[in-house]
Structure 1
Amino acid sequence: MYRRYGSLFRERCAQWLGRIQPLTAAGSTIVRLAFGRALGRLRRPTRRGIVLTLVALPAIFLLYVLALVPLTPSIGNIRKARVDQPALIVSADGKLLEQFKPVNREWVSLRQISPYMVDALIATEDRRFYEHHGIDWTRTASAALHTFSGDRQGGSTITQQLARNLYPDEIGRAPTLTRKLREAITALKIEAVYSKDQILETYLNTVPFLYNAYGVEMAARTYFGKSANQLDILECATLVGMLKANSTYNPVLNPERALQRRNTVLGQMDKYGKLKPDTYAWLKRQPMRVDLALQTAPPGAAPHFSAQLRKWLIAWADRNGYNIYADGLVVRTTVDYRLQAMATQAVAWQTSQLQWIANDAWNERTGCWPGNDLFQTFMRQTAEYRAARDAGQSDQAALRKLGMNPTFVRALCRTKTQVQAGFVAIDPRNGDIKAWVGSRDFGEVPFDHVQQARRQPGSTFKPFVYGAAFADGAQPGDTIVDRNVAIPVSGQAEWRPTDAEPPTGRPMTLRDALAYSRNRITAQLMQKERPEKVARLARAMGVRESPLEPVPSLALGTSPVTLKEMVSAYSTIANRGAYLEPRMVTRIENRDGKVLAEFASVSPVQALPAAAAQTLVDVMRDVVSRGTGAGIRTRFGIRADVAGKTGTTQDNTDSWFILMHPQLVAGAWVGFDDGRVTLGNYWGEGARSALPVVGAFYDMALRTRVIDQDVRFSPETRPRAVNARKQRHFLFWRF
C-alpha cells in the first residue's frame, strides 16, 4: 500500500516541483535539494520515511513562501495604488493642460456604481468575499484537489484578482505555484490595508473590458451608453460575465456566448439570493442589448507638447523614484494657456482655408483620378493593391479594379491630401516654450510636425549664412553682383542656383538680397563663408539634432531640420546671439504643493556675436517691411518691432515662416506628409501658406496684450548708410 500511494505522491510532487519558478539562485537550490531528499526517501518508502517527508514538506513550503514575501509589492506601494493620482500638467498661467493617466479610465466611487454590479460580482466570483481575509481557504482547497486530479480549476478571490490587475508584472499570469503564492501574499497585504468596500471599488475601477475601456464606468459608457450608476441587472450581469474571458464573452463579437454567460451570472445571483423570487426565469429570456460607443480620452489643450513632456517626465520620475500615474505630481510647464489657444486657432483657421484649395486641386477628376501616374503610385502602396496582386491579378487589372471603387479612391485621396501644419513659439529671453501645435488634429494625426518631422527649411536657413558674414565683419550695405553662377560640387557636377527673376548683372546689397530672398546672391556669400562654417554656426544657434550636410546648397536649406530647431535658432538671433536650450518645465511639486525639483533656464551660450545678431535682426526687419514677408504688415497690420523670414522649398513642397519679436519668436511649417503632394506655385509659397498662421497668432497675441506692442529689440540699431565710394563690393571669380 505504501509503495502504491508513495508512487502516486512522488508523481504529484514531481509535477509541483516542475512548476516552481526560482526567485533567487540560493533559494532555488535549497528548495530543490530539500525536495530532492524528500523524493529520494520515497523511492523506497517506509512508514518512518513517509512521516518524515510529510513533516518536512510543509516546513520547506513555509520557507519558500517567506522567501517570496519581500518580492511582492510593498504595503506602501499598495496604499498608493488604490486611487488614481495622475500627474497634473499645468500651464505657466495656472490652467490644467493634461492629466497623465495610464489608461482610458474614469475613477468612480462605490456609491456611483449600480448595486446590481456588486451583487453580480460577489455571487459569481467570490460568494464568501465578506467572510475571508483575501484567501478563501475552502475554495482554494477545492480548486487544489480538482487540479491535483487533473481537472484544473481557479480558486482566486476578488482580492487575488485585484492583486493580478494592479501588479501584472510583479505577479505574472503563468499557471505556476510561484505565481499563485505571490498572488496570495499580495492579496493578504491588500486586505490588511483596505476595507472590503475599498477593495470592491478598486477592483471595479481597474478591471479591463476591451476596446480600451478600463473600469466599470468606461465599460458602461462603451457597451451601453450610460454611466455605471445607471446599469440595470442585465447589463451588470453582462459585464461581470466578461470578467471570465473578455474576448470569449465579448457581447459585440460573440453575442450568443455572452448571452449564455450572462445567464450563468444571473443563475448565480438567483442561487445566492441576489434576485427577487421568480425573476430569474424572466430575466434569462431577455435579449442581449448592446450599444457600442468607443470611448476615447479627449486630448488636452497642448496634446503634442504633452506627448513630448510625458517621455521626459517618465525618465525623470524613474531616476527620482516617482510614479507619474500614482504619486500625484504637479508639473508646472512653460506653456502659456492663452498663447496655446491662439496657436491652435490660427493653425485650424489657415489649414481649413488651404484644405479647400487642396480639395479642388486633388479630387477624383484631377489629381486623385486613376489615370494620374502619381495617384497610381499611391494605389500601389495600399494593402488593397497588394491583396489583389497576391490573388493573381496583374498590375493593370488591380489598378483598374481599385480605380472603379469610389469609396477606396476617396479614402486614399483624403489620406494623401490632408494639409498639415506645425507651430511653435519660444520666449527668446529664457528659452521657454509658450505654444506648441504639432498637427491639425491630434486625434487624427498624432504625428508631431514640430519635434518629429524633418523637412527642408528652404530660405529660412539663409539667415545663418548672413549671420556668418556679419560675424566676419560684413555690413548690410555690402554688395554682390546678381549674376548666374556655377558652383562645383562633388566630382564633375555643378550647382547652378536660380531665382524667379532673371539676373540683373548689377550689384545688390546684402540687405536687399535677404529681404527679397535672392538665391544667387546667397549662394555666392555661402562660397565666401564656407559651408562647414555655416553648418557649425547653425548648430551652435540651435539646429542641434538634425544632421547638416556641409555642401554649397545648404545655403538654400537643403538639409532637413525640425521646426523646433529652427525656431530655437531664431530665438538665438532675437536674444542677441546667445543660445538658450528650449525649456518645457519650470518645477515639479507633490500633491501638497511641496517643490520636488526646479528647472532654471540653462546658462546662455554665445553662438553669434551680439553685434552680428543685432545687425541680422535689423536686416530681417526689412523682410517683413518690404520683402517676402510684407504680408505681416499689409495683411495683418502688425506694427510691432518684428523681423522674420519666409521659406519655400523646391516644387513648393514645404512652406515656412518664422517671426521674431523681442518677447516671443514663433514659426510655422505647412505642407503635406507626402512631399509629392503640393499646392502649386502660388499657394505653396511660405508667404501664402505659413505666414498667415504666424500672422494670425501675433495679431491675437498683440491685441490681447499677452505680448507688448511697444517693446523693441534693445538696443535699437540701424546701421547708417555707407558712403557709395567707401561701399565694399564682394567680387567673385566665375565658377
Structure 2
Amino acid sequence: MNRLISSLLAALDKGLTLANPLVAKLWRHLRHPTRRTVAWGFAALPVLFVLYVLLLIPFTPGIRDIRKAKIEQPARILSADGKLLAEFKPSNREWVSLKDISPNVVNALIATEDHRFYQHFGLDWRRTASAALHTFSGDRQGGSTITQQLARNLYPDEIGRAPTLTRKLKEAITAVKIEMLYTKPEILETYLNTVPFLYNAYGIEMAARTYFDKSASDLNVLESATLTGMLKGNSYYNPVLNPERALQRRNTVLAQMVKYGKLTPAAYDTLSRKPLRLDFERQVEPPGPAPHFTQQLRKWLVAWADRNDYNIYSDGLVVRTTIDSRLQTMATQAVTLQGNQLQGIANSAWGTRAGCSADKDLLRTFLRETPDFRAAKDTGLSDDDALKRLLADRQLVQNVCNTKTRVQADFLAMNPRTGEIKAWVGSRDFSEDPFDHVQQARRQPGSTFKPFVYAAAFEAGAKPDDKLPDNPVEIQLTGGEIWKPSDEDEPSGRSISLRDALAYSRNRITAQVMEKVGPNRVAKLARAMGVRDSELDPVPSLALGTSPVTLKEMVSAYGTIANLGTYVEPLMVTRIEDRNGNVLAQFAPATPKRELPADTARTLVDVMRDVVSRGTGASIRTRFGVRGDVAGKTGTTQGNADGWFILIHPQLVAGAWVGFNDSRVTLRSDYWGQGAHSALPIVGDFFQRAQRSRLVDTHVKFDTEQQPGWFAERSARLSDWFQHLFAPAPVQPQKPVVARGQTRRSPVASVKPAETAGTAAPVSEVPEAAGASAVLAEPRALPPLLPVPGSVSGSAPGSAAAPAVGDAVDGETHGGGAPALAPTPTPDDAAPPDAGQGGEGTANGGASN
C-alpha cells in the first residue's frame, strides 16, 4: 500500500512539473514543509480569520435594522372616532419598561446567564474560552452573553441557530453592533420583552401572567428564578409538564444568585425547600371590539405594506378606519342579544341536552361525517358498528350536537353615500367562531334579492301600480323541467299591484315579473349594483334568491338603492400614518358610478318603503319604533335555513343574516325561522339604539321627488310663454268719484254665503289605493310593462294604512275588510297566520321568500 501511494505521489509530482513548474514547487513545499513555511502558515491563520469575519459583516443585520428594532412598534388600528380596535403584534406579547419588571428577575437573569454583563462589550472572552474548553472535554456549555442571545432572538433568520462557527461569528458581530447602539438597561429591557416562554407567551410580562397570573412587576424571588431557569430550555424545564426538572433548575438559579451576591445563603436554604406554586392559564390575545373587521383588514394591510416597504409588526403604523366604535358596540350588542334568544329556541327544538334527540337521523348523518367515524372505520369496523361506537360516546354526541345547532348571525352597516363601513360583526362570538360570515359565508338571500327584479322591471317602464293576476305559474326550464313557484296561500286569481307584490313578498307575482324582464337582465343589474364577487345563475328561480351571496355584497347593493342608483365601493381605511403622525397614504371614497337610472331608483325606494310601513318588515316601526324615512326587505330561504333583513336610510344601510353553519340545520319553526323574526330584530335593535344616540338623523329623507323629463320640462316652459304672450291686459280699476262733503271709504266686496261655499277650493283626498307618487312624470317611450286594467291597489308613499285584510305587524294580522281588488297579504317573514309565506318549488334548487 505504501509503495502504491509513493508511486501515485511521484506520478503527481511529474505531472505537475510538466503542467506548471510553479504549482509543482508549491506542492513540494507542502509535502515537505520547512520551519519557515510552518511559521508563515501560523501567521496567516489570524489574517485569514479576520478576512473571513470582514466578509461576514455584510450578511449580519445592519445598523439601521438594529435602530429600527430598538423602537419596534406594532401597527395600531383606530376607529373613525379615535378608539383602539386592535394592534397587529407578531406574537402574544406586551412590552413593559425595565422599571416595571421586578428586580428579582434582573438579578436572577444576570447571575445565571451573564454575571459580567456590565463589564463586557457584547462578548465575554473569558466565558467563551471556558465554554470552549468544557465543550472540547465533552461537557458542552453555552458561552453566549445576554447581548448575543438578544441578537439571536431579534434576528433568527439572519443569524440562524445551527451550531457552526459561521453562526457564532454572525452572532458575535451583531452583539457588538447592539452594544454600540443600546445602553445596558435598554439591552436588558429588550431581551426580557422578546424572549419566548412557551404557550404563545413572549416576554416576561406574558410569562408572568401565564404561569403565575400576575404582572412582571410583582414576581418574587422564587417565581423569578423559575422563569429564568426556563431560558436554558423551555420545553425541558417546562414547569407545567416537567415540574421536577423545573424545580431543580430553579434551585440552580437560586444557587447562582447566592454565588454572585444577589441572595444570602440563609435565604437560599429556606427558599430551595419550597415547592413550585404555579397559577397557570394560557393567555389569549383579546380580540378587540371589531375582530372580524380587523381580521379582514390585516390581509389588506399586509399587501399594502409589502408594496410600500413597510412592516405592520414593527414600523408603528397608525391605520385610521371607517368603523364607528359606538355603532360597532351597538351592533355587537344587538347580535349577542338576538343570538342568545334564538339559541334558547334552537336548544328546545333540537333537544340539545339529550344529544339532538329531536332528529336522530340527522344526528347519525353528522356523526358519519366526523373524523372519529373514519378512524373507527379504519380499525376494520363496519358502518353500523362504527356508528354504534360513536353513539355510545355521550361526550362526542353532545359536542357534535352543540356545534351543529349553534345559531350564527352576522351584521354589516355602511354609509351609502361614501361606502364607509361603520359596523361589522362576523359571528356571535369571535373566540368560538372566528369564521367571518359577513365576507366569507355565501348563503341564499331569499326574498332580499327581489328588489333587483323589480328594479329591472321599473327600468323597463313598469309602474308600481301595474298589476298581475295571482294565478298559478309554470315556467319551462332548460332540460324539460317545470318551475312552479308558490306562496303559502292558494292562488286567488285577483290582480295584485307590483307595489303590494314587493311589500308582501309575493312569489308568484315576482316570478311573472322575472319572466317578462329576463334572468340575464336581472343578474346583470344585481352585479352592477354590488353583488360582484358571487356567481349569479341566470335562471328564473334567481328571482327568489337561489344563488348564494355574501352579506357584504347585499348591503353594498342595497347601498346603491339608498344612493338613488349610484354604486360606491365599500371603504375600510381612510388614512395611514407613521408613528410620528405623518400621513403616508389617504383613501378617499370611490367615485360614485351610476348603475341604475335615478328615476328608477326613486321608484324602487318608494315601493320598498311599504315593506316597513305595512308589509313584511312592519315590526321595524311597531316593535322597535324606528322613525324617519326608511325602507327595506326581509328574506327567508326554503326550509327557513336562512333569515335576512336589510334596512336602508339615506345615511346608513344595515343588514343581518341568521342561520347555522350547516344549512341542513334550521330553527325548526315557521315563525322564528322567518327573517322578520330572526334577522330583523338585530337590525331593529341596532337602528333603535343608533337613533336614540343621534348617530342617525331621523329628519333626513330620500330625495324621491320625480324630476320632470326633458320633454315635459320644455313643454311646461312653452306653455308658460304662450300664457304670458296671449294673456289679456289687466283692467285698471277706476277710481271712485267722491262727491264734495262725502267721506271716502274703502270698497268692501260682499260675498254671499252660497257663493262662498260654491267657490272654495275643494280638499283633494288621494285614496290609499292611488299610489300616484310612484308614477314617473316623464313620458316613457316604452308602454307599461304590465298593463292590467282595473283600479290601482297600491298605497300612497309612506302610508301605513291597512291593505286587504290588515297590517302585517310582527306576524299578526290587524284590521279588517278591504276592497275587492286588494290582494290577500302574503308577508314574506311577518306573515299573518291566515295569509302565509310564499314558498318555492324544488326545481332549480329552492329558496323561498
TM-score (norm 2): 0.78
Q: 1:684 aligns with which of 652, 666, 673?
A: 673
Counterpart of 1:683, as a letter, is: W
1:578 maps to 2:566: yes
1:498 maps to 2:486: yes
Counterpart of 1:506, as a letter, is: R
- Check conservation: 2:335, 2:682, Cα contact below 8 A: yes
- Check conservation: 2:473, 2:484, Cα contact below 8 A: yes
Runs (5+) with no aligned partner, structure 2:
1-24, 707-770, 777-782, 789-842, 844-849
Cα deviations across residues 254-313 of structure 1 (Å, max 9, x unaligned)? Answer: 111212222222222222222202333333222122111121122211111111112212
Q: How does 1:297-336 map to 2 (within 5 A)?
A: 297-336=285-324
Q: 2:208 aligns with which of 216, 220, 224?
A: 220
| Residue number in structure 2 paired with 1:3 | none
Q: 1:707 to 1:56 in 2, by over 3 A?
A: same
| Residue number in structure 2 paired with 1:694 | 683
| Residue number in structure 1 paired with 2:626 | 638
1:710 maps to 2:767: no
Following superposition, the deviation at residue 145 of structure 1 comes to: 4.7
Question: What's the secondary structure of 1:434's corresponding residue?
Answer: strand
Counterpart of 2:233, as a letter, is: A
1:729 maps to 2:791: no
- Check conservation: 1:72, 1:185, Cα contact below 8 A: yes
1:293 maps to 2:281: yes
| Residue number in structure 2 paired with 1:203 | 191
| Residue number in structure 1 paired with 2:342 | 354
| Residue number in structure 2 paired with 1:519 | 507
Counterpart of 1:295, as a letter, is: Q
Q: 1:387 to 1:561 in 2, by over 3 A?
A: same
Question: What's the secondary structure of 2:424's corresponding residue?
Answer: strand
Cα deviations across residues 120-141 of structure 1 (Å, max 9, x unaligned)? Answer: 1112211221111112222223
- Check conservation: 2:603, 2:774, Cα contact below 8 A: no
Following superposition, the deviation at residue 635 of structure 1 comes to: 1.3
Counterpart of 2:497, as a letter, is: T
Following superposition, the deviation at residue 438 of structure 1 comes to: 0.8
Counterpart of 2:608, as a letter, is: M
- Check conservation: 1:583, 1:601, Cα contact below 8 A: yes
Question: What's the secondary structure of 1:729's corresponding residue?
Answer: coil
Q: 1:720 to 1:118 in 2, by over 3 A?
A: closer
| Residue number in structure 1 paired with 2:82 | 94
Cα deviations across residues 411-433 of structure 1 (Å, max 9, x unaligned)? Answer: 22221111111101010110000
- Check conservation: 1:657, 1:667, Cα contact below 8 A: yes
Question: What's the secondary structure of 1:611's corresponding residue?
Answer: helix
Following superposition, the deviation at residue 487 of structure 1 comes to: 2.4
Separation (CA, whole Å) in 2 of partners of 1:228 and 1:39: 65
- Check conservation: 1:221, 1:293, Cα contact below 8 A: yes
Q: How does 1:143-154 map to 2 (within 5 A)?
A: 143-147=131-135, 152-154=140-142
| Residue number in structure 2 paired with 1:29 | none
Question: Which consecutive aligned stretches of 4+ in structure 1 deviate over 6 angstroms post-superposition?
Answer: 37-41
- Check conservation: 1:479, 1:728, Cα contact below 8 A: no
Q: 1:118 to 1:655 in 2, by over 3 A?
A: same
Separation (CA, whole Å) in 2 of partners of 1:448 and 1:421: 10
Q: 2:130 aligns with which of 109, 129, 142?
A: 142
1:534 maps to 2:591: no
| Residue number in structure 1 paired with 2:446 | 458
Following superposition, the deviation at residue 148 of structure 1 comes to: 5.8
| Residue number in structure 2 paired with 1:657 | 645
Following superposition, the deviation at residue 242 of structure 1 comes to: 0.9
Runs (5+) with no aligned partner, structure 1:
1-36
Provide the aligned length of Structure 1 versus Structure 2.
694
Separation (CA, whole Å) in 1 of partners of 2:593 and 2:185: 58
Following superposition, the deviation at residue 384 of structure 1 comes to: 3.6
* Aligned residues: CA RMSD: 2.5
Following superposition, the deviation at residue 391 of structure 1 comes to: 4.2
- Check conservation: 2:193, 2:204, Cα contact below 8 A: yes
Counterpart of 2:649, as a letter, is: H
- Check conservation: 2:461, 2:784, Cα contact below 8 A: no
Q: 1:131 to 1:43 in 2, by over 3 A?
A: farther
| Residue number in structure 1 paired with 2:544 | 556
Q: How does 1:41-440 map to 2 (within 5 A)?
A: 46-147=34-135, 152-364=140-352, 368-369=356-357, 372-440=360-428
Separation (CA, whole Å) in 2 of partners of 1:39 and 1:480: 106
Q: 1:133 to 1:58 in 2, by over 3 A?
A: same
Counterpart of 2:611, as a letter, is: V
| Residue number in structure 1 paired with 2:470 | 482
Following superposition, the deviation at residue 83 of structure 1 comes to: 4.6
- Check conservation: 2:111, 2:260, Cα contact below 8 A: yes
Is 382-391 or 641-650 further displaced after alignment? 382-391
- Check conservation: 2:631, 2:647, Cα contact below 8 A: yes
Following superposition, the deviation at residue 662 of structure 1 comes to: 0.3
1:545 maps to 2:533: yes
Q: 2:555 aligns with which of 567, 574, 577?
A: 567
TM-score (norm 1): 0.90
Q: 1:43 to 1:309 in 2, by over 3 A?
A: farther
Is 290-299 or 710-719 further displaced after alignment? 710-719
Counterpart of 1:309, as a letter, is: L
Separation (CA, whole Å) in 2 of partners of 1:476 and 1:371: 45
Q: 1:458 to 1:294 in 2, by over 3 A?
A: same
Larger Rg: 2
Cα deviations across residues 652-685 of structure 1 (Å, max 9, x unaligned)? Answer: 1111100000000000001111111100222111
Following superposition, the deviation at residue 722 of structure 1 comes to: 6.5
| Residue number in structure 2 paired with 1:7 | none
Is 605-614 or 503-512 further displaced after alignment? 503-512
Separation (CA, whole Å) in 2 of partners of 1:41 and 1:477: 110
Separation (CA, whole Å) in 2 of partners of 1:584 and 1:505: 49
Counterpart of 1:116, as a letter, is: N
Question: What's the secondary structure of 1:657's corresponding residue?
Answer: strand
